A and B are shown apart, each in its own frame.
Chain A
């Protein structure tokens, strides 16, 4: 089912000669995590901000669940969409709890329901409610602030989330853990997410599908594996560094390529891997003299055998993406 549909959407800013977004048509599946990827100035942020009408298309139309978004009262539309930005934009004069409460308050929820929701969300993003409810944003680290930004966007349980380079200003270590939490949250919540980034690794890690944009146009709209193995043109090939075998292997899990054990004897001193490891890790343990394969452990017990040959011939195929 299509949650968001772009139909021939173009945008030319009044002070610009060239279009920022040019004739974009896209269908975004309900519950899918779609990343808008491209260099700065490619129009990805403009495209995102047209969904909650912070920018208006010059032509074309955008539909949410089949309804033209211009037919929805502007404030109602925005209250149905979670919005997370790179600069976070927490309200500095409000506590964490009041920041998270903003949209539920606008929607007129009862106070008891709001309080319960705030605690639920803080637990969801691994911040202890008792400790963090009454803090002010200035008392939080950057990573904690963006967690609150995420919680605030999720507060009224919107079906759609718009995220504009949300982890772009976070240090590398916190960014990784925020990405992991985002994946974890998405597995639980199944939101329809539009996520802007210029970080290819972030896109590959998070996306169900990636929209590669250049000069306001969509160059390719495909899942991460297809982008790596079948780039539409030189631009996509270079952007994704698609010829990088290691990057392709990082999209594959050991579990998908191992051969289940059937009682045969295993070579002694064979290295071990975990079921959920990616093929890049597999390659790394196998690149030693005399090693022809590795034992795959599942829940600590040997469950399969992965040969070096299998890694060499592994391709990143549709449906294999983690």
Chain B
């Protein structure tokens, strides 16, 4: 508390850095995961190999993953973001696929029979109907990304992890406590926000 009260500006900056790191990574992740999920939906035989590779990548510890990426992207924010994007893929792609699989085949047959082309079906029917499941995946991915983003401080990406690592180096319990609490609050807040969005979307048309 002491630290926060005496350095509100610094803490706010770290907070914003943290959110930025997680948010940009999630945005890139979803932009990759949605098309990839559609690809796997239409090319079933790719599902096993792709999900297998993503699953293996997911088991690599975050520090090791970032270090592995440094030779390609440098000792900076980019390596951290790439690592985050890779972690999110397994969660997001799986949920995009589950969302698409959950759509009633009769709905798709009606859409085709009425003369929608595949792009119209994807955009007007499949994406909105899969969205609740995709959002559930995004929620899990977001919490993971916020947690892993703390590692960013070790690699020059800033963020709330800096409070934690500084605290450990300086044996300052107040910094450690503040960093932990803020990361936890951020994760809880984003989780609640995305869940509310999910409910808002399905609430209108789910069975009542």
- Chain A residues packing against B (C-beta within 8 Å): 52, 54, 74-79, 81, 83, 85, 87-94, 102-103, 106, 136-139, 149, 152-153, 162
Contacts and interface: CB of A to CB of B under 8 A. Distances in A.
B114 interface: yes
A139 to B, nearest CB: 6
B27 interface: no
A75 B116 CA distance: 6
A85 B115 contact: no
Contacts, number: 72
B107 A78 contact: no
B19 to A, nearest CB: 30
A60 to B, nearest CB: 21
Interface in B152-208: 204-208
Given A91-B111, A92-B205, A75 B117 contact: yes
Given A78-B112, A102-B114, A106-B115, 4 more contacts: A89-B108, A91-B125, A93-B205, A138-B208
A77 B107 CA distance: 19
A89 B189 CA distance: 37
A47 B145 CA distance: 52
A47 to B, nearest CB: 15
B101 to A, nearest CB: 16
B65 to A, nearest CB: 37
Interface of B: 104, 106-117, 120, 125, 128-129, 204-208
Contacts of A102: 114, 116
A74 B121 CA distance: 14
Contacts of B128: 93
Contact of B114 (A83, A88, A92): A83
Contacts of B117: 75
A93 B129 contact: yes
B110 A85 contact: yes
Nearest to B202: A93
Nearest to A87: B106
B39 to A, nearest CB: 22
B109 A106 contact: no
B75 to A, nearest CB: 46
Contacts of B106: 85, 87-89
A134 B206 CA distance: 14
Q: Which 7 A-B pairs have the closest CB atoms?
A: A89-B110, A78-B115, A87-B106, A79-B115, A89-B106, A83-B113, A136-B205
B107 A75 contact: no
A136 B114 contact: no
20 contacts: A52-B113, A75-B116, A76-B115, A77-B115, A78-B112, A85-B110, A87-B104, A89-B104, A89-B106, A89-B107, A89-B108, A89-B111, A91-B129, A92-B205, A94-B205, A102-B116, A103-B115, A106-B116, A136-B204, A138-B208
A118 to B, nearest CB: 15
A103 B111 CA distance: 10
Contacts of A83: 110, 113-114
B208 A54 contact: no
B74 to A, nearest CB: 44
Contact of B109 (A54, A77, A136, A137): A54
A162 to B, nearest CB: 8
A311 B207 CA distance: 52
B146 to A, nearest CB: 29
B133 to A, nearest CB: 13
A78 B113 contact: yes
A180 B117 CA distance: 34
A75 B120 CA distance: 11
A137 B114 CA distance: 18
Given A89-B104, A89-B106, A89-B107, A54 B114 contact: no
A241 B195 CA distance: 59
B115 A138 contact: no
A71 B109 CA distance: 22
A75 B115 contact: yes
A67 to B, nearest CB: 17
Given A85-B106, A85-B109, A91-B125, A138 B207 contact: yes
Nearest to B110: A89
A139 B115 contact: no
